[in-house]
Amino acid sequence: MNQRGRGALTLVLLAMLVAMPFAGTVSAEEDDGLRVALDVNPLDRPWLTDGNVLTLAAGLVNPTAETVDTTTDPSCGLVLSIADTNGITVVDGTQACRGQERGLRLAPGDEALQASFTVDAAELDLSTGTYDVRVLHPASGASASTSVDVQRSVAWPEALLLEGISVQRSEVADEGEVLLLRWRNAGPTPLEWPTEACTLHLVSSDWAPFASCQNEAEALAPWEVRLVTAITLGAEDLDDQGTFMLSTPSGERTVQHMPHGHETGTGDLSLSLRLDGADAYRTGQIVQPTMRISNLGGDDLVIDTTTTCRADWWAADATGHVVYDSRWNAPCIDLDDRRSIDAGEHLDFQGLGWSLVDAQGCTVPSGSYAIVARSDDLALSAATTVTVEHEEAEGCASDDGLSIEAWLEQDEEVLPSLHIDVHPKEGATDLVLQGVCSGRMILYDDEGSVLLDQMVGCEGRHGRQYHLPSTDAVLRLDMGGFMLTTSEGDALTDGTYAMEFQLQAARPVAHVASLSVGVQDQDASDGDDAAVPDAPTRTEMGAWIGLQASGEACWVLQTGPSSYLALSSATIANWAPRADLRGIYTVQDADEAPACAGVDATPIIILEVQEERMSTPAQAEGTSTQDGPEAVVEAPSDGQILTPTAVVATVVSTSILGLLATAFLTNEAWRLPASSAGLWLIGFIGRTKETTDGRFQRGRIMGYLQANPGCHFRALMGALDLSNGQTTHHLRVLEREEQIWRRKDGRLIRFYPLTRDLHPGIAEDQLPVPPLSMDPNSLQGRILTMLDDDGLMGDFPTQAELARRLERSQQLISHHLRTLERYGLVEKQKMGVRSRYVLTREAIYLLERTDMERRS
């Protein structure tokens, strides 16, 4: 090849090298031996956005070893043409050509008609999409093209925010961190998702796609928060400054986070998290992940760990609170361990099971939760999200600090509509609705009987979460299309009714108002404005307990082993409760008294004292109790008014115990951690050491649980005649030794021996039925007795009739009937248009056995 030919080849190679950044997308077509050389200036991201310009430099070259003669139009030597993916030309540079012609000769390696072009998406009014950008020499037909993605900026709703919440496992950064990514509607109106540019990209990884909000099927409701995913950050996720950054294509929304520490990893080792594949977890189910350490390399590896926490896990809710940590139940213990992993193999570590109960012993609310696996020794983390779904709120969560107002809008033209306004009492708060329904509406007649009890607002999904940033942020829940009928389908007659709405929050909040049907010029009145709420009255019997949580006394009426009512006020002159005073009272639900804030008891107002007696003093152990009438307490005279403050002053030494008793006796899931962690401070549990008696008592517990798997805490304590502290201590030792395990069942904690066939991962329907014993004084016992008595007369009551005769709400009766159905003691049968309840043969046998035991 001569010198001129070698020079031409060199020019061609240089042109190809200049075009290397877009080598994969630039193509050329030649005609008559000529070619268009195209140089594309790289963009700072994989697409063209508003504010950025794509620059192209082009020229007509002769890459051959022969001279080429051609023609050209002096008015348009090289032109720019842009076409979309459908082949439709949106920019046609040939329109500027005037049809002139002039000869052009290019020697081998020569370049002519050099030109530069700019592509501005906004100026050319290009829509979001992919385009073929071509530089063409019209006379010869030679051309070169490149593919360009255009991403136009969109008008994002101002209230649509993208947030990243950093959650640390503890104050020690090396113990792990997770970043919760979520969308939030910061305004009072619904937000539709943008139709364009609604994708998130990882900036440090060459703008790799990360997530898309197009996957969201529903619009964001006012103040709604929606979790996208949970992320554990590694070195590959950070830029040169150590910052993690996610962004929409044009930067309308970004998340930047400087992690407290990132996972450095250990070569070819990786950590992954495996769950059982359940779409959602519900009450009674166990979240039990498996942590897998894999060797992705080609060589066998040896891993050294220094503690028993080789791989463990923790969980956080969508607001950033840690709700569970496996180290709470199994602290890390120093232990040197060495294991080998062959190339391509893995090690699995079974995590502890989580029964959806938080550190306070409460079932966690519905919603999305981050599950984070961690190996401290290997500096590896992994995360995923799970969904928790509950049909109804348990009610033992802390006060959400919410205030609600409810009213029914009536119009002759359309069906009535129910409206609910929810707002914080002070500051900011988060609301998570339980189940698919927003709440429950109950209508009462003037005698307090339930006419209608139904769930409302059931068009949503489980675990809807809202963030209300201030007291001015009002969440309105509109529910329309109500038929004003009773539960039996009968139309309501003209008159005034009491309407109660219960918001299905983690801790239910109730509101009472009046409802007028067929009464003109009478507006629904707010129950909070009346001296006595428009709630139905009922009769309650129990004993008073005086608590002093702050400077003022809180009086609590204990109506059952685990049911309490807090006194809000009384309408009776010269009357006040006293410690150990028992009575029968006419009560109504009311607003919470400030002195009882934080006490887990339904607030009431006392309307009438039907009867009062002093409780019989407790007899000393070993002494006989003499039969005799209880002393009736008369209401004190005007000169002898006994105030709650005076009573509490005389029992200062017991007020703290009363607070503890009210706080954890209500729920076994509270009582167990409270007993084991704090009762030694007041003398219930002293310093303990291993004794022969301790091993003997644990042997008794194991033997009893093997014979009665599923026995709950209170029954176990009574059956073995152990104190609260003893039972708690021995159960904790047995759990630590992995001889037993627990499962929450409503307000009870049930215990099981840990065997190959009986373990925390077993399905609920495979568990043995817990031992049954009927307390005739309990509400379930009274229901069974009433069904038995009615059955002998050939009568079978409905749920509403049982609620009215037992003077309890239909909601509570429904709960106990479902429990009795679950254990095969009652059956619901359709008789005519109503559902009625009958006893099963098992229930009749249980009643007969209980009656014989009582007689003997």
Q: How does the average pLDDT of the chain come out, rounded? A: 75
pLDDT over 60 (residue 647): no
Give pLDDT, residue 141. Answer: 85
Q: How confident is the model at residue 531 (pLDDT cuts 50, 70, 90)?
A: very low
Distances (CA, A) of 712 to 362, 463, 672: 17, 29, 12
- Confirm if 302 and 314 have CB atoms less than 8 A apart: no
pLDDT over 70 (residue 704): yes
Residue 595 lies in a domain: yes
DSSP letters spanning 592-613:
PPGGGTT--SEEEEEEEEEEEE
CATH number at residue 313: 2.60.40.2360
Identify the domain boundary among 529, 555, 573. Answer: 529
Same domain, 25 and 146: yes
Identify which has the larger pLDDT, 747 or 480.
Answer: 480
Residue 629 lies in a domain: no
The Cα–Cα gap between 268 and 285 comes to 35
Token pair of 188, please?
């009072």
Q: Which residue has the tokens 């947030």?
A: 163
- Confirm if 423 and 410 have CB atoms less than 8 A apart: no
3-state helix, strand, coil in the chain (%, to 5): 20, 35, 40
Q: How confident is the model at residue 371 (pLDDT cuts 50, 70, 90)?
A: very high
Give the contacts of 288 (CB within 8 A, at least 6 positions apart): 276, 350, 351, 352, 353, 354, 760, 761
Lowest-confidence segment of 469-473, 559-563, 789-793 by average pLDDT: 559-563
Residue 772 lies in a domain: no
Per-residue HEC secondary structure of 835-851 comes to EEEEECHHHHHHHHHHH
Give pLDDT, residue 657. Answer: 43
Q: Tens digits of per-residue pLDDT, 223-251?
A: 999 888 888 887 777 877 778 888 888 78
Residue from 710, 811, 816 nearest 764 by CA: 710
Give pLDDT, residue 659. Answer: 41
Give pLDDT, residue 372. Answer: 92
- Confirm if 587 and 604 have CB atoms less than 8 A apart: yes
Lowest-confidence segment of 287-291, 309-313, 380-384, 689-693 by average pLDDT: 689-693
DSSP letters spanning 192-225:
PPPSSS-EEEEGGGTSEEEEEGGG--SPBPTTEE
Q: How confident is the model at residue 607 (pLDDT cuts 50, 70, 90)?
A: confident
Residue 50, phi then psi, degrees to nearest 5: -60, 135
Rounded mean pLDDT of 695-709? Answer: 83
Helix (H, G, I), strand (E, B) or coil at 697: helix
Give pLDDT, residue 645. Answer: 35
Residue 771 lies in a domain: no
- Confirm if 439 and 457 have CB atoms less than 8 A apart: yes
pLDDT over 50 (residue 653): no
The Cα–Cα gap between 805 and 466 comes to 40
Q: Which of 287-291, 520-524, 541-545 has the highest mean pLDDT?
A: 287-291
Give pLDDT, residue 552. Answer: 64
CATH number at residue 37: 2.60.40.3880
What single letter denotes the amino acid at residue 283? T
Residue 497 lies in a domain: yes
pLDDT over 50 (residue 730): yes
Same domain, 815 and 756: no
Distances (CA, A) of 743 to 44, 86, 229, 762, 764: 55, 60, 29, 11, 10
Lowest-confidence segment of 78-87, 428-437, 738-747 by average pLDDT: 738-747
Question: Where does 109-194 have alpha helices with state H?
Answer: 121-124
The percentage of residues in the chain with a pLDDT greater than 70, rounded to a whole number, is 76
Give pLDDT, residue 631. Answer: 34
pLDDT over 50 (residue 658): no
Give pLDDT, residue 826. Answer: 87
Give pLDDT, residue 686. Answer: 40
pLDDT over 50 (residue 733): yes
Give pLDDT, residue 708. Answer: 78
Same domain, 206 and 317: yes
Which residue range(s) make up the domain with 100?
Answer: 3-151
Give the contacts of 113 (CB within 8 A, at least 6 positions apart): 59, 60, 72, 77, 78, 104, 137
Rounded mean pLDDT of 572-592? Answer: 80
pLDDT over 70 (residue 534): no
What single letter denotes the amino acid at residue 473? A
Give pLDDT, residue 373. Answer: 92
Question: Where does 281-368 have alpha helices with state H?
Answer: 326-329
pLDDT over 70 (residue 10): no
The Cα–Cα gap between 672 and 155 comes to 54
CATH number at residue 544: 2.40.50.500
Question: Where does 115-161 have alpha helices with state H?
Answer: 121-124
The Cα–Cα gap between 555 and 185 comes to 42
Identify which has the larger pLDDT, 751 or 842.
Answer: 751
Give pLDDT, residue 82. Answer: 93
Identify the domain boundary among 151, 179, 197. Answer: 151
Residue 799 lies in a domain: yes
Say what the pTM is.
0.54
Give pLDDT, residue 651. Answer: 33
Same domain, 602 and 542: yes
Q: How confident is the model at residue 561 (pLDDT cuts 50, 70, 90)?
A: low
Token pair of 409, please?
């809008």
Same domain, 833 and 707: no
Phi-psi label, residue 223: left if phi above 0, alpha if psi -120 to 50, beta otherwise: left
Question: Where does 639-708 have alpha helices with state H?
Answer: 644-650, 652-665, 668-678, 692-707
Residue 773 lies in a domain: no
Residue 632 lies in a domain: no
Same domain, 33 and 177: no
pLDDT over 60 (residue 459): yes
Token pair of 556, please?
């609590």
pLDDT over 80 (residue 707): no
Q: How confident is the model at residue 263 (pLDDT cuts 50, 70, 90)?
A: low
DSSP letters spanning 624-635:
PPPP-PPPBPPP
Give pLDDT, residue 570. Answer: 67
Rounded mean pLDDT of 407-429? Answer: 80
Same domain, 260 and 193: yes
Same domain, 422 and 301: no
Give pLDDT, residue 313. Answer: 92
Same domain, 216 and 281: yes
Q: How many domains does the chain have?
A: 6
Identify which has the larger pLDDT, 218 or 95.
Answer: 95
Count, in order, helices (H) and strands (E) of the chain: 13, 46
Diameter of the chain by CA atoms?
131
Rounded mean pLDDT of 8-17? Answer: 40
CATH number at residue 802: 1.10.10.10
Same domain, 573 and 689: no
Which residues are registered as beta bridge partners of 341? 301
Residue from 452, 453, 457, 417 nearest 433 by CA: 457
Identify which has the larger pLDDT, 822 or 70.
Answer: 70
Same domain, 553 and 486: no
Identify which has the larger pLDDT, 138 or 16.
Answer: 138
Q: Which of 561-570, 693-702, 797-806 has the highest mean pLDDT?
A: 797-806
Q: How confident is the model at residue 519 (pLDDT cuts 50, 70, 90)?
A: low
Give pLDDT, residue 635. Answer: 36
pLDDT over 50 (residue 628): no
Identify which has the larger pLDDT, 470 or 642.
Answer: 470
Give pLDDT, residue 223. Answer: 92
Q: Which residue has the tokens 């040169």?
A: 240
Identify which has the larger pLDDT, 353 or 32.
Answer: 353
Identify the domain boundary among 718, 733, 766. Answer: 766
Rounded mean pLDDT of 645-659? Answer: 37
pLDDT over 70 (residue 490): yes
Which residues are registered as beta bridge partners of 55? 118
Same domain, 650 and 675: no
